[in-house]
Each structure stands twice: as structure tokens, then as C-alpha cells.
Structure 1
Amino acid sequence: MSQKEKVCQQKLIVTRDALEVIQGKWRIPIVLALTFGDKRFGEIQRDIVDISPKMLSQELKSLETNKIITRTLYDSMPVTVEYSLTPLGHSMKKLLDELLNWGVTFRKEVVGR
């Protein structure tokens, strides 16, 4: 295998790993919502209007498992749970900005809005 092929293969593996963490309809919107600050479950659900509570719960667990977000329990009555981005989650800001810019271009070119 040539050096060029090895580099290509390494890049594909790393990219696949990253996509595994952020793939799907809801994970990027959840991370984006949390870039505006720490939020409780209901606040995230209000931000992302079409997501069901079950799906939000599943996606939050996945993002937590992959160290993109953290879940903090506060000992109050009733118990309060707050979600926030980890340093790894915050490191996605540049990616999210680029995705937003590309999305604006895509909407103009393809969707026509």
C-alpha cells in the first residue's frame, strides 16, 4: 500500500469515527442548542420542536457516552438535571460554524430559500 493510500485510509477511519458520534437528525441540533448555554431537558425540547422526549433522551445519553455533553444532577425538589457541553463538545464550534455557512449556501443553491 502506498503512502498516499495509507493517509487516505487513516483519514477515512477518523472521519467515520467522527460521523459515528454526530450522525443522525438530532445530535447536531442538540449540540448547537447547548452552544447557547446549559439547558434542562425541557428547554432543549422547546428549542428542537420536532424531537420526541424518547428520542431526545436517547440522543442525550449517546452524546454523554461519547463525552460531548455532561449531565449534572442538582439536589433540589424536584430534582433538576442540566446538560452542558464538555470541552470536547465546545471543540465542535468551528465545525458547527462551517456547517451553518454551508447550510446557508445549500439552501440558496438547491432549496431556493
Structure 2
Amino acid sequence: MKSAGVADLPAIAGIYEGYVRTSTATFELEPPDLAEWTRRFTAITDAGLPFLVAEVDGRVAGYAYCSPWKTRPAYRSTAENSIYLARGRRAAAWAARCWTRSCPDARRTESER
């Protein structure tokens, strides 16, 4: 697991597109384009929240991020976590790795505010 970068966004978009097209998990009707992924990535990382990728053999196998839950002031210390794994990597162990790495990073970020 490592912090994601802009160079990872095409792979991230590709993984997410599979979920948009084959499931209802995302609540999206069309996959976001690279410009939208760049906007989302920037908003998350500018907020100091984690956006991570898992790599296998130099390729993105999955990603996890936390994003603000709501914009109202009372929700300022809450975040929603999202985990998406590439086809063939959809196993509980991979999801657990993403979860355990992204959530402590989010808690640390909140404690530093």
C-alpha cells in the first residue's frame, strides 16, 4: 500500500468503471472521466484524507480512500471510506488490508486538526 498519485488515476478509473458498469455499489450511472477523477483526488488529498493504492507486480490492484461524509459543521470529524479492488483481486484479505491502512490514516488526520 502506498499513497496514490495522479499517475495512478487512469488505473483507478479503470477499476471503478468495472463497478459502475456491473454493479449498483457506486450509485453512478456513467463512469467518471479522468478530469472528474482528478477533481475527486485533489479534493480528498487537499482535505488531508488518505487516498491509497495497492500494487502487485507494479500494477494497481486496488485502492482505498476516505472522503468527507457531509459538509455540515457537525459532521467535520466524520469520513466515509471506499475500497475498490481490481477484477481478480476481490478477496476479503485485500479489502481488509485496504481498510486497516486507510482508517488509521484518517483518524490520525482528524487528531491533527
Does the alignment reach a TM-score above 0.5? no
TM-score, normalised on structure 2?
0.31
> Counting helix residues as a fraction of each chain, which structure ranks higher?
1
> Counting strand residues as a fraction of each chain, which structure ranks higher?
2
TM-score, normalised on structure 1?
0.31
Rg larger in structure: 1
